[in-house]
């Protein structure tokens, strides 16, 4: 078995804590205790607990955000379906939200994603209809995923993807 880095241990600990506590209640002390690492190790890698989430989101920036958002502007159902599958899988099983975070933490995670993918910069290059379409489609995807979390992840991933794709098209 491959030994995990201190950063990986802290990322996983942070994600586990998101499933138990509101993000604003997660402290450096709780992360180092959950990760079973020293406080000095934390500060060698991160300045704040928010930096851990930023580090986690870097993994997904290109894969999901930069490739997925343009797909939401087009009516290519198979591409949208693939994007939704990736995102839904990342929410439930991937490192992004691996430990099924509390629903209120999903708000925070999506806000961080929005900040990372500078939507305002992207919108400068779009016509009016596309500007509204991207916001509408992102809101649909976000609302469905948040409701799925609030309802206890009862539908399968495939069922949720089908629902989202029906709403997008």
State the pTM of this model: 0.58
Q: Which residue has the tokens 């929005």?
A: 114
Q: In this predicted structure, what is the pLDDT of residue 70?
A: 61
Closest CA to 160 of 143, 142, 148, 146: 148
- Maximum C-alpha span of the chain: 52
Q: In this predicted structure, what is the pLDDT of residue 140?
A: 82
CA separation for the pair 6, 157 (Å, rounded):
31
Provide the residue ranges of all domains of the chain, joining segments of one domain with +: 6-168
Dihedral (CA of 19, 90, 64, 151) sign = negative
Counting every residue, how long is the chain?
169
Separation of first and last alpha carbons in the chain: 44
Q: In this predicted structure, what is the pLDDT of residue 143?
A: 82
Q: In this predicted structure, what is the pLDDT of residue 35?
A: 96
Q: What class is the 6-168 domain? A: mainly alpha
Rounded to the nearest 10 degrees, what angle do helices 157-168 and 77-92 cross at? 140
- Extract long-range pairs of 45-51: CB within 8 Å, 24+ residues apart: 45/6, 45/7, 45/10, 46/10, 49/14
- b/e map 48-69, b = 16+ CB within 10 Å: ebeebbebbbeebeeebbeebb
One digit per residue, pLDDT tens: the chain, 169 residues? 568 889 989 988 998 898 788 888 999 999 999 999 999 999 999 999 989 988 877 766 655 556 666 666 666 777 778 778 877 776 665 545 445 566 666 667 666 666 655 555 555 656 777 767 766 777 788 788 878 877 887 888 899 999 988 888 7
């Amino acid at each position: 078995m491959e030994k995990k880095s201190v950063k990986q241990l802290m990322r996983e600990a942070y994600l586990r804590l998101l499933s138990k506590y509101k993000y604003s209640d997660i402290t450096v002390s709780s992360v180092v205790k959950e990760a079973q690492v020293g406080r000095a190790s934390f500060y060698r890698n991160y300045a704040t607990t928010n930096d851990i989430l930023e580090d986690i989101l870097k993994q997904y920036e290109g894969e999901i955000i930069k490739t997925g958002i343009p797909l939401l502007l087009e009516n290519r159902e198979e591409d949208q379906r693939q994007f939704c599958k990736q995102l839904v899988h990342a929410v439930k099983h991937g490192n992004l939200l691996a430990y099924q975070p509390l629903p209120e933490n999903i708000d925070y995670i999506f806000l961080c994603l929005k900040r990372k993918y500078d939507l305002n910069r992207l919108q400068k290059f779009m016509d009016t209809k596309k500007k509204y379409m991207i916001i509408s489609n992102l809101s649909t995807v976000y609302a469905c995923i948040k409701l799925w979390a609030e309802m206890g992840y009862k539908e399968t991933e495939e069922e949720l993807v089908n629902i989202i794709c029906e709403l997008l098209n």
